Amino acid sequence: MTAEWAASGLQINGIAPGYIHTEMTQNLVDDPDFNSWILGRTPAHRWGTVADLAGPAVWLASEASNFVNGQTIFVDGGMTVVV
């Protein structure tokens, strides 16, 4: 899509969230073994929050990212770099 639509002024990017603490993931947070695995595996040593996704989303929607195209922004506390 990026290659086809960039010339038309469209930017195609994505946000790839890691483990985000929400109502839907509360059971995973409450599971001591799984929670310990997340905290130990994530360089930030914490779960992400919905607020952690806001900055990259606002940046991608702003003129500050006008020349960013075809990128995936990982918002995962560094987890992908240690996988």
Domain of residue 35, residue span: 30-83
71 located within any domain: yes
Answer yes or no: pTM beyond 0.85: yes
Residues 6+ apart with CB under 8 A from 41: 79, 82
**CATH (domain of 37):** 1.10.8
Distance CA 23, CA 55 (A): 21
Count of domains observed in the chain: 1
52 located within any domain: yes
For residue 53, how far is the Cα from the chain centroid? 6
pLDDT digits (tens, 9 = 90+) for 20-31: 999 999 999 999
pLDDT digits (tens, 9 = 90+) for 32-66: 999 999 999 999 999 999 999 999 999 999 999 99
Residues 6+ apart with CB under 8 A from 35: 28, 29
- What pLDDT, on the 0 to 100 scale, is given for residue 71? 97
For 43, the token pair is 């360089």
Longest Cα–Cα distance in the chain? 50
22 located within any domain: no
69 located within any domain: yes
